[in-house]
């Protein structure tokens, strides 16, 4: 008989066709070409009816070296300038990765604030729907020139949850540089939490701003907030170790990887 873990994974991911993948700054800074390539290669091997929307950070991480800045600065205008420089490089990397498989991409820049505006929300929704219908892969980032929300906190985690609502996603996959949420520091024997059915009691107490590289402003706190937001839209979230091989296929095959946040409607 299937375990409760497997059963919940089947319920949340077994039929998922429209998937939002959020890739964090640290993964893209470490592997600016390899990480997009790994995702594009995997998508090419999956069921062709799967639709992908990528929420990609990494513009600042790719822009800072061009400005000759080694350490992430505090000043927002410098970070915004780096994002403006890095964004085109970031999108080129995604374009090349998917291009190998004859798939086209589109750049979408959004702000959380803009999405609070009903007309703008509908405009974004219509544009994304048209792209998905044409089998184009949207690559979404925050418009860092006009908004600094995700630079300050979240590294696009919240934006990813909002995108799930925009496209009526079946699942949100957050690629990160850790194995998932742990019940204590993994370096001190903390264990991965495979399933969260109640965020308040099973996730919040264990979320700390652990983030190994310091390149993004994410950490587990913003991922848990994002999972809660997505759950509010009825969308399950899976926090995954983005560096692991075939992680997308394994996640969609309902293997016991990462931490799955189950929305109330699927409990």
Question: Given the rule CB under 6 A, which residues bind ligand GLU?
Answer: 25, 57-61, 83, 141-142, 144, 150-151, 155-156, 216-217
Q: Which is closer to ligand GLU, CB of 155 or CB of 228?
A: 155
Residue 161 beta carbon to ligand GLU: minimum distance, rounded to whole angstroms:
15
DSSP line for the chain: ---HHHHHHHHHHTT--EEEEEE-HHHHHH-TTHHHHHHHHHHHHS-TT-EEEEEE--HHHHHTGGGT--S--S-HHHHHHHHHHHHHHHHHHHHHHHHTTT--EEEEEE-HHHHTSHHHHHHHHHHHHHHHHTT-EEEEEE-TTT--HHHHTTTTHHHHHHHHHHHT-SEEEEEESSSS-BSS-GGGTPPB--EES-HHHHTGGG-----SSSSSS-HHHHHHHHHHHHHHTT--EEEEETTSTTHHHHHHTT-S-SEEEPPGGG-
Least distance in angstroms from the C-beta of 217 to ligand GLU = 5
* Minimum distance, C-beta of residue 175 to ligand GLU, in the bound complex (Å): 14
Residue (12 or 162) nearer to ligand GLU, CB? 162
CB closer to ligand GLU, 141 vs 226: 141
Rank residues 147 and 196 by Cβ distance to ligand GLU and give the closer one.
Answer: 147
Q: At closest approach, how far in Å is the CB of 50 from ligand GLU? A: 25
Closer residue to ligand GLU in complex, CB, 26/257: 26
Closest approach of ligand GLU to the CB of residue 82, in Å: 8
Least spacing, CB of residue 158 vs ligand GLU, in Å: 11
C-beta of residue 262 within 8 angstroms of C-beta of residue 24: no
Question: Considering beta carbons, is residue 60 or 196 the nearer one to ligand GLU?
Answer: 60
């Amino acid at each position: 008989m299937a375990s409760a873990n497997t059963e919940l994974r089947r319920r949340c991911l077994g039929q998922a066709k429209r998937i939002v993948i959020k890739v964090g700054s640290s993964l893209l800074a470490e592997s600016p070409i390899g990480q997009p390539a790994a995702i594009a290669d995997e998508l090419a091997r999956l069921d062709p009816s799967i639709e992908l929307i990528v929420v990609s950070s990494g513009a600042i991480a790719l822009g800072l070296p061009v400005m000759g800045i080694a350490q992430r600065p505090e000043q927002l205008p410098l970070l915004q300038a780096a994002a403006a420089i890095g964004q085109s490089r970031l999108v080129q990397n995604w374009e090349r990765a998917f291009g190998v498989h004859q798939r086209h991409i589109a750049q979408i820049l959004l702000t959380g604030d803009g999405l609070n505006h009903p007309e703008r929300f509908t405009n974004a929704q219509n544009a994304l729907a048209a792209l998905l219908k044409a089998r184009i892969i949207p690559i979404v980032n925050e418009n860092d020139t006009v908004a600094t929300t995700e630079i300050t906190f979240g590294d696009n985690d919240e934006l990813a949850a909002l995108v799930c609502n925009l496209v009526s996603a079946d699942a949100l996959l957050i690629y990160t540089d850790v194995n998932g949420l742990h019940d204590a520091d993994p370096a001190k024997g903390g264990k991965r939490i495979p399933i969260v059915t109640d965020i308040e009691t099973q996730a919040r107490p264990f979320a700390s701003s652990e983030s190994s590289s310091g390149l993004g402003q994410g950490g587990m706190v913003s991922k848990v907030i994002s999972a809660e937001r997505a759950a509010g839209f009825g969308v399950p979230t899976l926090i995954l170790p983005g560096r692991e091989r075939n992680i997308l296929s394994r996640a969609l095959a309902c293997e016991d990887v990462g931490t799955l946040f189950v929305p109330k409607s699927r409990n």
